[in-house]
Structures are given as structure tokens and as C-alpha cells.
């Protein structure tokens, strides 16, 4: 559970580190790119918040399934319902997130694809809560999400990272 939360923290850290880049070095020709960078950083932070909000009940359920904790069945069922609700909410809301207007059409389209992949990740997690390794069920979707976000960040000269590895 802690490792899963570290992954979500990595998203927030990525947004923070990108936001701390030196903006004084921009030339006048880079102003548009600078506002696009700012928009992507802001969007990434918003996305990190949405992910954390919806991932928390899933992580709580996964942690409570640990046999060593001997979590009562009634509590497990309640946590499972909360996890399913969180996964369903994320699968619905995340793909519908609005990309800021300052983001170029090309990058906006790529981010929309990434959001769709992240929505699939949460949908798959919600459908596989009883699996031994819930996270593994959505690995392909999360890797695709991560790759698309990295592609946009790389084009804009922003930090990239393997967010998927931090979720395991």
C-alpha cells in the first residue's frame, strides 16, 4: 500500500519539479511554449490529485486483504465497496478531465489518449479487486498512460519519469 501511494506522490513530485524549472531563461519566441509548459504542469498537478483521491480506497482495500491483518469480513466488504466506487469514479471522471486551452492540439490529443488509458487502468483495477495482484491487472494501460504523458513532457522539455514502477 505504501508503494502504491508513493507512485501517486511521484505524480505530484513530477508536477512540482517541473514547476520549479527556471522560467527566466525563456526568449520571447518561447513565451507560447512557456505558457503551454505552465498549463501542462498545472494539469499534471490536478491529475495527481484526482488519482490520489480515487486510488486511496483501492490501496486501503488491498492493504486490508493482507492475511496477517486478519481484517473482519464485514470491514473487508465495506472497503471493497469503497474501492470499487473509487475505481468506477476514476474510470469515469479521469478520461473526461478538461485539458487546458494553452496546450497545443497535438499535445492535448496525446494527453486525452493518456487519460483514456488511465481510465482503463482504474476500470481494470475495479474489475479485479479480488485478484491476487490487483495492480498487475492494469499494468498495460498504466504503462501506456505513462508513456504518453512522458512524450508530452519530453516535447516541452519537462521532467519525465516511470510512474508505473512507483505504483508496484
Residue 68 lies in a domain: yes
**pTM of the predicted structure, to 2 decimals:** 0.79
What is the Cα–Cα distance from 51 to 56, expressed in whole angstroms? 8
Range of the domain at 59: 2-15+32-167
pLDDT bucket at 4, cuts 50 / 70 / 90: low
Show Cβ contacts of residue 154 under 8 Å, excluding neighbours closer than 6 positions.
Answer: 160
Provide the domain count of the chain. Answer: 1
pLDDT bucket at 65, cuts 50 / 70 / 90: very high
Rg (CA), the chain: 17
Between residues 78 and 163, the one the model is more confident about = 78
Q: Is the predicted pLDDT of residue 22 greater than 50, yes or no?
A: no
Ranking 28-37, 41-50, 87-96, 117-126 by mean pLDDT, the lowest is 28-37
Residue 21 lies in a domain: no
Amino acid at each position: 500500500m505504501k508503494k502504491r501511494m508513493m507512485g501517486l506522490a511521484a505524480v505530484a513530485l513530477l508536477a512540482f519539479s517541473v514547476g520549479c524549472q527556471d522560467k527566466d531563461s525563456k526568449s520571447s519566441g518561447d513565451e507560447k511554449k512557456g505558457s503551454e509548459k505552465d498549463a501542462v504542469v498545472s494539469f499534471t498537478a490536478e491529475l495527481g490529485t484526482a488519482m490520489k483521491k480515487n486510488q486511496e480506497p483501492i490501496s486501503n482495500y488491498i492493504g486490508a486483504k493482507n492475511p496477517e491483518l486478519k481484517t473482519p469480513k464485514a470491514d473487508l466488504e465495506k472497503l471493497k465497496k469503497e474501492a470499487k466506487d473509487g475505481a468506477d469514479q476514476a474510470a469515469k471522471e479521469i478520461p473526461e478531465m478538461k485539458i487546458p486551452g494553452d496546450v497545443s492540439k497535438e499535445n492535448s490529443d496525446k494527453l486525452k489518449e493518456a487519460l483514456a488509458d488511465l481510465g482503463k487502468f482504474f476500470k481494470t483495477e475495479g474489475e479485479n479487486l479480488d485478484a491476487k495482484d490487483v495492480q498487475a491487472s492494469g499494468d498495460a494501460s498504466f504503462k501506456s498512460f505513462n508513456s504518453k504523458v512522458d512524450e508530452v513532457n519530453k516535447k516541452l522539455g519537462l521532467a519525465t519519469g516511470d510512474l508505473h514502477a512507483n505504483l508496484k
